[in-house]
Amino acid sequence: MTPTISLSDLDFQSGDVDIQRAAEAFKTHGAIVVRGLLGAYIAALHSDIKAAVRQSLALLHRASAIPEGWRTPNNTLFIPAPDHYERDRQIMVLGINYHTSAAFSRSAFHPPTLDIVEAILGPNIELYGTGQCLYKEPVGGHPKHLHQDSAYFEHRYEGPVGVLTYVVPTDLDNGALHVVPGSHKLGQLDHIDTFSHLGLDDGEWPWERALAIPGQPGDAIFFHVKTVHGSKQNHSDKPRPVFIHRYRRADDYVVIRGTTTKNRAESAKHLATEKKESQHSIMVRGFRPYNGT
Ligand SMILES: O=C(O)CCC(=O)C(=O)O
């Protein structure tokens, strides 16, 4: 599937978004980008991201080994660094979230963002997760193989809408997000274990199948949980952080979770035991009626 869709099919301008048209484009292509949408939060978030990086590096000697790499006490995930790198480990997921950064949590409640999410998911929406910051260190910072997020958290219903926002100018040189338009309609695909955890076989899913989305700080990419996406290495001399909010219908919940083929297969055995009641999160739109028995 070579992309026949071009960036202009997915592109919207903050302040001038036709919400229904944006929601339709999302449903058709599985991704849209809204330029400048979260620009007001970038300065404060970037400052908190830099503080979290300093803290993570200072705590690296206290990191413990986990199946995905190493985790510092402030919850930053490190993975092996390239051979020529100044350290043997590099940051992959930075330990910053709604519990540690007010700018991060404020930005999750941004009304124009929620207006678009509501047009996609309907009136009753909760946050999924506590926010995520994917980081690529300079000079080789890790590639993230093409994958579906549903390989990591498959949901009972529609699944979360991810909103990934650039913090620095992001292009082909430093790790722009790539998406495969329409791939959210392919169902759950089989993933394999890769350097960047669960990913698609790159023989079957080469980067040429995907559309790159270069952008500026504040540009927000909305993507479906089953949209195939990923990003290449950061070849620039500066870090490339992004931050992600995830929103889901208030009745939706995870049925299978994993980070490796082994732990995902184990989780799939317990499919029937997953329940919404133990997965309630903060509501951002609408109301959750009591539905206990
Ligand atoms: O650009 C990145 O850092 C990768 C983001 C991503 O693929 C994900 O959050 O699933």
175: left (phi over 0), alpha (psi -120 to 50) or beta: left
Which run of H or of E encompasses 243?
strand 240-249
Q: Has residue 208 got a pLDDT over 70?
A: yes
Question: How many domains does the chain fold into?
Answer: 1
Which run of H or of E encompasses 19?
helix 19-29
Q: Residues 109, 191: contact at Cβ < 8 Å? A: no
Flag whether 292 is in a domain: no
CA atoms of 211 and 130, how far apart (whole Å): 28
Of 12-26, 46-60, 131-145, 148-162, which range is least confident?
Answer: 131-145
Flag whether 290 is in a domain: no
Task: Give tens-digit pLDDT for 150-196.
Answer: 999 999 999 999 999 999 999 999 999 999 999 999 999 999 999 88
Flag whether 215 is in a domain: yes
What is the pLDDT, as a whole number, of residue 3?
Answer: 52
Flag whether 1 is in a domain: no
Task: Give tens-digit pLDDT for 72-83.
Answer: 999 999 999 988
Flag whether 134 is in a domain: yes
The amino acid present at 274, given as its one-letter code, is E
* Residue with token string 């079957």: 204
Flag whether 291 is in a domain: no
232's tokens: 């290449």
CA-240 nearest atom, ligand 1: 3
Q: Which of 93, 164, 219 for mutating ligand 1's site (highest number of atoms within 8 Å of CB)?
A: 164
Q: What is the mean pLDDT of the chain?
A: 95
Pick from 100, 103, 157: nearest CA to 279:
157
Q: Residues 214, 170: contact at Cβ < 8 Å? A: yes
Q: Has residue 293 got a pLDDT over 70?
A: no
* Domain encompassing residue 38: 7-285
Q: Residues 94, 241: contact at Cβ < 8 Å? A: yes
CA atoms of 239 and 233, how far apart (whole Å): 11
CA-231 nearest atom, ligand 1: 1
Percentage of residues of the chain with pLDDT beyond 70: 99
Flag whether 74 is in a domain: yes
164 C-alpha vs ligand 1 centroid, how far in Å? 8
Task: Give tens-digit pLDDT for 250-269.
Answer: 999 999 999 999 999 999 99
Give me the CATH number covering residue 91. Answer: 2.60.120.620
118's tokens: 């509501």
Percentage of residues of the chain with pLDDT beyond 90: 89
112 C-alpha vs ligand 1 centroid, how far in Å? 23
- How many helical (H) and strand (E) elements, i.e. helices and strands, does the chain have? 6, 20
Residue 4's φ and ψ, nearest 5 degrees, are -100, -5
Q: Is 119 helix (H, G, I), strand (E, B) or coil?
A: helix
